[in-house]
Amino acid sequence: PPPPQVVIRSVSYGGSGCPDGSASVSISSDRTTLNLIFDSFQAYIGPAVSITQNRHNCQMNIDLDVPTGWTWSVWSVDQRGYLQLDPGVSATLAATYYFSGQTKQSRLARTFTGPYAGDYLKRDQADVAIWSPCSGSGMFNVNQAVGLTTSKCLGGGAGDG
């Protein structure tokens, strides 16, 4: 669609990985990329860490206004962030994408295994093409999750996705 005609009408989100005020959405100037930013999306694991800190998620609902006659799809996803994983600790980053009222979903997942410390950038192709409604507008939903596991009793790590 012509760039000025694609508009984010509203965004709502919630979950243990995205407290109020910690997430945002924007569209690139050429209208080919939807950017989802999570400022507090972190998980921790270790002997002194509560099990509730091992996994977090964020459910995001994005109401997009797209011109009638146009449709769009998730083609690929870039995930970037920072990981610090001890030996024996694994981090799984997963996201499910879907449009409200449709049963088809696309799920992407990536697992990192420690030892690892540093930034990451991974691009994944969507496993299934999901298309927006032909009506032009629709609620696009993303459920993003990060989870940590360890094969050791004393392993530790942190995931920031």
Angle in degrees, CA 141, 143, 147, rounded to 5: 170
pTM: 0.83
Locus of tokens 């410390």:
117
Is residue 46 classed as helix, strand or coil in its secondary structure? coil
HSE-CB of 107 using CA atoms within 13 angstroms: 7
State residue 4's pLDDT score.
Answer: 55
Q: How many domains does the chain have?
A: 1
Pairwise CA distance, residues 37 & 18, whole Å: 10
Q: What are phi and psi of 155, to 5 degrees?
A: -65, 150
Residue 63 belongs to domain spanning: 3-160
Ranges of residues in the chain whose predicted pLDDT is under 70: 1-4, 135-136, 153-161
The answer to whether residues 130 and 3 touch, using CB atoms and an 8 Å cutoff, is: no
CB atoms closer than 10 angstroms to residue 74 = 22
List, in sequence order, every residue forming a beta bridge with 25; answer none if it has no partner. Answer: 36
Locus of tokens 């964020």:
58
Two tokens at 53?
């800190």
State residue 12's pLDDT score.
Answer: 97
State residue 84's pLDDT score.
Answer: 94
Which residue, 129, 123, 124, 161, is CA-closest to 144? 161
CB atoms closer than 10 angstroms to residue 49 = 15
